[in-house]
């Protein structure tokens, strides 16, 4: 049992969000819809959580990341949740080991191998290394621990003149192919929740959008990937025609385009007030104000994306 864990309600929601990796939005939805924890209220009316609540929420997050539905695990006791998460994580480690015993599971090894392939302009080696990483690692680890750091290093070396536009283009072409193959390898039925992914006009960096598409596809979402540089009204049009359950937009560069606020407001008015809009990418914080004005959720990690998609899916099933 876990008596050593404090039951005093003392942590505000932002601290709980940081500790569990869940967003404040997800915490509120899970509480309201599934009663996963019962926070107390401070004198000012703010939610306060205990250590036990934090532990329970962190376990629920791990269960969701392993592919469970919140509606199925929300009522489990703390001990049962511990048991379930241990089982899921043991199985994942076992799966990693049994697929190809010779593969290393350390993301850094793949990043180093991929960079070497880029430096020597060896597209075949790069593609093989990325496919190996895709087999050996979970989708979030592939994206967050291999592809994102690799892109950052390519960007850095390119900036310092150590890599040419040719190197970057070769890497871009291979990454695009690998991510597209991950996305199209999963073929969910028409009844699956749909996610439209694109970047708005003026945003031509593509990989953030491709990452989201691949990550959502591995969670069983029906992904409608529209690529880059599309007027917001067209993104909303597709979302409506395809009966999508959410829209994901990636904002990377520039960070100060005055036209983005207008596009975002068109996106909201044409997609309707109830369509969840998710935003990510290194420029999303710079557009926080217009994003908040249209009630978009800024997503900061792949785990956060999974938890948000799972909450949207559960809302959809419950509706
Ligand atoms: C590849 C690349 C290019 C390629 C793009 C190819 C392509 N097909 O996309 C090319 C060569 C075309 C390019 C061009 C330029 N680039 Co460039 N590029 C990059 C690089 C290396 C990767 C960018 C990328 O795709 N990032 C996207 C993802 C991988 O990262 P992220 O934004 O942090 O997103 C994370 C999460 O937020 C999440 N995410 C992203 N989107 C979303 C969306 C949702 C819904 C969710 C849930 C999550 C999510 O996924 C990521 C992983 O966790 C970066 C360096 C870097 N470190 O990022 C520079 C970089 C972005 N580029 C930069 C610049 C300056 C340019 C150019 C202006 C260069 C030039 N002088 O021409 C042009 C701009 C062209 C234009 N009109 O916009 C700068 C931007 C600086 C700044 N102030 O922001 C960077 C940072 C490089 C640098 N250090 O200077 N670039």
Confidence check: pLDDT of 269 > 70: yes
Q: Phi and psi of 194, rounded to 5°?
A: -100, 140
From residue 21, alpha-carbon distances to 15, 32, 114, 304 in Å are: 10, 19, 29, 6
Structure tokens at 297: 């959720």
Average pLDDT, the chain: 87
Largest CA distance in the chain: 62
11 bridge partner residues: 49
Mean pLDDT computed over 251-276: 96
- Angle at the Cα of 176 from the Cα atoms of 108 and 276, rounded to 5 degrees: 95
| Token pair 């606020």 in the structure block, residue | 261
d(CA 16, CA 26): 11
Determine whether the shortest distance from the Cβ of 34 to ligand 1 is under 6 A: no
Q: How many Å separate Cα 172 from the centre of its chain?
A: 20
- Structural domain 11-99, CATH architecture: Orthogonal Bundle (1.10)
pLDDT at residue 129 greater than cutoff 80: yes
C-alpha closest to that of 56 among 22, 32, 92: 22
Determine contact, residues 9/50, Cβ cutoff 8 Å.
Answer: yes
Q: What is the pLDDT of residues 29-42, one digit of tens each?
A: 889 888 999 999 99
The predicted model scores a pTM of 0.74
pLDDT in tens, 106-127: 778 889 899 999 999 999 999 9
Contacts of 232 (CB under 8 A, 6+ apart): 200, 201, 263, 264, 266, 267, 270
Q: Which CATH number fits domain 107-185: 3.20.20.70, 1.10.1240.10, 3.40.109.10, 1.10.10.10?
A: 1.10.1240.10
Closest ligand 1 atom to residue 154 Cα is: 21
Q: Indicate the pLDDT class of residue 317, thresholds 50, 70 and 90.
A: low
Q: Which atom belonging to ligand 1 lies closest to the Cα atom of 171?
A: 1
Burial class (CB in 10 A: 0-12, 13-18, 19+), 75: exposed
Ligand 1 centroid from CA 124, angstroms? 24
Model confidence at 131, pLDDT cuts 50, 70, 90, reads confident
Q: How far is the CA of 172 from the centre of ligand 1 (A)?
A: 11
Q: Which protein residue has the closest C-alpha to ligand 1 atom 23?
A: 205
**Residue ranges of the domains in the chain?**
11-99, 107-185, 194-318
Q: How far is CA 303 from CA 67, 85, 206, in A?
A: 11, 15, 20
Q: Which has the closest alpha carbon to 193: 311, 313, 274?
A: 313
**What are the tens digits of pLDDT across the range 134-149?**
877 777 778 888 898 8
Span of 94-98, 264-268, 294-298, 310-314 with lowest mean pLDDT: 94-98
How many residues are given for the chain? Answer: 319
Q: Is 155 in the pocket of ligand 1 (CB under 6 A)?
A: yes
CB 54 within 8 A of CB 19: yes
Give yes or no for residue 194 having a pLDDT over 60: yes
| Among candidate residues 205, 110, 180, the one with its CA nearest the CA of residue 118 | 110
- Ligand 1 centre from 284 Cα, in Å? 12
57 CA from centroid of ligand 1 (Å): 33
pLDDT band for position 92 (cuts 50, 70, 90): low
User: Which one of 3.40.640.10, 3.40.50.720, 3.40.50.280, 3.20.10.10 gives the CATH number of domain 194-318?
Assistant: 3.40.50.280
Rounded CA-CA distance 5/264 in Å is 44
Query: How high is the pLDDT of residue 49?
Result: 94
């Amino acid at each position: 049992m876990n008596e050593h864990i404090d039951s005093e309600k003392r942590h505000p929601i932002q601290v709980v969000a940081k500790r569990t990796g869940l967003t404040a939005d997800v915490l509120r939805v899970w509480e309201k819809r599934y009663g996963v924890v019962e926070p107390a209220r401070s004198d000012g009316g703010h939610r306060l959580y205990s250590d036990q609540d934090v532990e329970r929420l962190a376990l629920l997050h791990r269960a969701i990341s392993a592919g469970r539905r919140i509606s199925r695990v929300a009522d489990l006791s703390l001990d049962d949740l511990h048991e379930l998460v241990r089982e899921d994580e043991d199985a994942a480690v076992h799966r990693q080991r049994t697929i190809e015993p010779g593969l290393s599971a350390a993301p850094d090894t793949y990043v180093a191998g991929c960079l070497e392939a880029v430096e020597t302009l060896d597209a075949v080696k790069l593609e093989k290394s990325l496919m190996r990483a895709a087999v050996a690692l979970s989708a979030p680890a592939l994206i967050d621990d291999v592809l994102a750091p690799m892109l950052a290093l390519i960007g850095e070396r390119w900036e310092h003149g150590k890599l040419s536009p040719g190197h970057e283009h070769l890497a871009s072409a291979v990454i695009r192919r690998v991510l597209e193959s991950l996305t199209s390898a999963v073929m969910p039925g028409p009844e699956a929740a749909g996610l439209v992914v694109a970047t708005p006009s003026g945003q031509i960096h593509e990989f953030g959008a491709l990452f989201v598409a691949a990550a959502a596809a591995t969670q069983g979402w029906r992904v409608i990937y529209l690529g880059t540089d599309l007027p917001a009204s067209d993104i909303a049009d597709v979302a409506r025609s395809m009966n999508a359950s959410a829209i994901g937009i990636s904002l990377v560069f520039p960070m100060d385009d005055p036209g983005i606020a207008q596009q975002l407001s068109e996106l909201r008015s044409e997609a309707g007030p109830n369509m969840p809009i998710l935003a990510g990418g290194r420029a999303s914080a710079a557009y926080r104000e217009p994003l908040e004005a249209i009630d978009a959720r800024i997503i900061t990690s792949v785990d956060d994306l999974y938890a948000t998609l799972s909450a949207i899916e559960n809302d959809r099933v419950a509706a």
